[in-house]
Amino acid sequence: MSVSEPFDLIRVSLSERVFVKLRGDRELRGVLHAYDGHMNMVLSDVEETIYVVDDESPEVRTVKRNVEMLFVRGDGVVLVAPPSR
């Protein structure tokens, strides 16, 4: 595996599970099927985790949902982590 540019790391993660951190306290874990230069992505078998901060309480609630197929708009992507090798 040769990684010389940032997108090389994404390229070698195609068809692998990846971790995606999004703006708005959201995280995704799913299989990466496609991406482009804007970091738009298509993921399948996705688990979305949303961290909900309530102004009334100091606690942070976690809401999870599963989605079969998801298109992620790149302008919301903060971080993409490849699978552990």
Give the tens place of pLDDT for each residue, 17-65: 999 999 999 999 999 999 999 999 999 999 999 999 888 888 889 999 9
Task: Choose among 28, 10, 11: nearest CA to 19.
Answer: 28
pTM over 0.75: yes
**How far, in Å, CA of 68 to CA of 12, rounded?**
22
CA distances from 53 to 38, 57, 73 (A): 29, 8, 23
By the 8 A CB rule, do 53 and 62 touch? no
Token output for 41 = 């992505």
Point out which residues pair with 70 in neighbouring strands.
43
Report how far residue 10's alpha carbon sits from residue 18's, in angstroms, rounded to the nearest whole number: 9
What is the predicted pLDDT for the residue at 70? 97
